[in-house]
Amino acid sequence: MKQDQTPVFSHTVNQTMSHIDKDLNPTMVDVSEKKQTLRMASARSVILFPEEVMKCVQGNDIQSPKGSVIHTAIVGGTQAVKKTWELIPFCHPLMIESIKFSFQFKDNELILECTVKNTGKTGVEMEALTGASVAALIVYDMCKAMSHNIIITQTVLLVKQGGKSDVCFSSL
């Protein structure tokens, strides 16, 4: 995060870790008593390319047996969202109701965002972060033959809505 980008929190910082019990053992959070609410989270990954690689990506010139770079990133990112609970310890398996990806080219950067929604007892921010991260990794994987000078510069939560609190990073 750049110096001038300040997160805006709708609540104070919690000093306890939700996945550690009173005996300091790792544990899954008990959500059995929580009410179901609409949950939404958006995350962003930014990929910096050398100019010659960016021209190919932006022009959708990179085709492989996997497909185009962007389409493959969408498919793989979607799979990652749905498998977050298998990858991240103590994440609950969720019934995902919506996954959307957007891609924007700016200078030599590809800015990709993943937005996830569900109606449930726990948030979807880990799913959005996982989707954005894996989509960025897929872009790297498909472009690395042209250059290893590709940098995933940022993966960040942009918005989390629903549940106890909302979070919005205003200037990211």
Q: What's the pLDDT score for residue 27?
A: 80
pLDDT the model gives residue 18: 74
Interatomic CA distance for residues 144 and 171, integer angstroms: 30
End-to-end CA distance of the chain: 8
Choice among 23, 30, 141, 166 that is catalytic: 141
Smallest Cα–Cα separation from 98: which of 165, 35, 160, 40?
Answer: 40
pLDDT along the chain (172 residues), means of 10: 50 61 79 92 97 83 78 97 96 97 95 98 96 98 93 96 84 62
The values of phi and psi at residue 70, to 5°, are -65, -45
Q: Tell me the CATH class for 37-166.
A: alpha beta
| β-sheet with 8-9: strand ranges across | 8-9, 167-168, 151-161, 37-48, 109-120, 98-106
Question: Which H/E stretch holds residue 108?
Answer: none
The answer to whether 90 touches 29, Cβ cutoff 8 Å, is yes
Whole-model pTM: value is: 0.85
Active site residue 21: no
